Structure 1
Amino acid sequence: MAVDVLTEVTIDRSRELVAAFAGNPTNAPVWYARICGVTWQTDPPLRVGSRMVFVARFLGRRLAYTYEVVDHTPGERLMMRTVAGLPPRETTYTWADTPGGGTRMTLRNRGEPGGFGQFAAPILKAVIRRANRVDLARLKTLLETE
């Protein structure tokens, strides 16, 4: 895949709490700056095969895309792939305990940009990395101040 961005953060909260919050797609608009809404196409709870439509704003445009959960180990890993609305893309979260009792969370975005995006992949990687850092910092602040 042409774009592969891995970002991580350490959050001073338990893995169970961080994974339960960040791994619940309904909470995405709370900590992702660009996500405006999430609608479940399948009934909760989250499991392999669950589908959700995410609505985001990017470069002044509204984007709607459908993710399907392809791997889910509660409290440890969540992987989703686009099935509609965007070129092929994967988002993976992992959560691990830190020695101090906190959580190391990783966010990985992989994708194959289409059209002009193929040529702009290095710029796209930088934009995604910056956005991920902002979003993970927002999540950290949110969870550590509760």
Structure 2
Amino acid sequence: MPVDVRTEIVVALPREKVASYAGDPSNAPEWYANILSVEWETRPPLREGTRLGFVARFLGRTLRYTYEVIELVPGERLVMRTAQGPFPMETTYSWESLDAHSTRMVLRNRGEPSGFAKVGARVMAAAVERANRKDLRRLKNLLETGRP
């Protein structure tokens, strides 16, 4: 069973500011509760082909994985993919201006679990959705107030 989770939030800031912050992987540990660290495996700046090592804690497990940027349209869309582990994942960020002072950010995670992870796909999708909603609220608060 494929997992495809789409969450969104409106942030009361211009698209360029939201995309600049949220689209910088170095900021991920500040607004993603489960991401412990990010290490650039290729040199900045972010571009297609950039590889980033992530360490995360999810469903009681510490996970290490590498994302590769497969699409980047600055200020509009960022797509990263990992192929390793029992749950290969593609993560997409997109940003849309609603007006001069507000932005809709969409966070989408999709993948096809394999092996044992396939059995828990439904539970995993629900956990990803809960985590994404919480993380987007934290991002909104951080950007709008300057604190997490």
Alpha-carbon deviation of 1:121?
1.6
User: What is the TM-score with the length of structure 1 in the denominator?
Assistant: 0.95
Q: SS at 1:98's partner residue? A: strand
Q: CA RMSD in A?
A: 1.3
Amino acid at match of 1:33: A
Could you report, residue by residue, the CA deviation over 1:66-87 in whole angstroms, capped at 9, with x for unpaired residues?
0000000000000000043453
Amino acid at match of 1:65: Y
Amino acid at match of 1:130: R
Corresponding pairs, count:
146
Q: Which structure 1 residue ranges, 5 or more long, are not aligned?
A: none
- Relative to structure 1, the CA distance from residue 15 to residue 30 in structure 2 (aligned partners, 3 Å threshold; closer, same or farther) is same
Matches within 5 A, 1:1-146: 2-85=2-85, 87-99=87-99, 101-146=101-146
User: What is the TM-score with the length of structure 2 in the denominator?
Assistant: 0.94
Structure 1 window deviating more from structure 2 (58-67 vs 14-23): it is 58-67
Structure 1 runs of 4+ aligned residues shifted over 4 Å read none
Q: Which structure 2 residue ranges, 5 or more long, are not aligned?
A: none
Distance 1:75 1:129 in 2: 24
Q: Among all aligned residue pairs of Structure 1 and Structure 2, give the percentage whose two residues are the same amino acid.
A: 58
Q: Is the 8 A contact 2:87 2:117 kept in 1?
A: no
Q: SS at 2:99's partner residue? A: coil
Alpha-carbon deviation of 1:59?
2.6
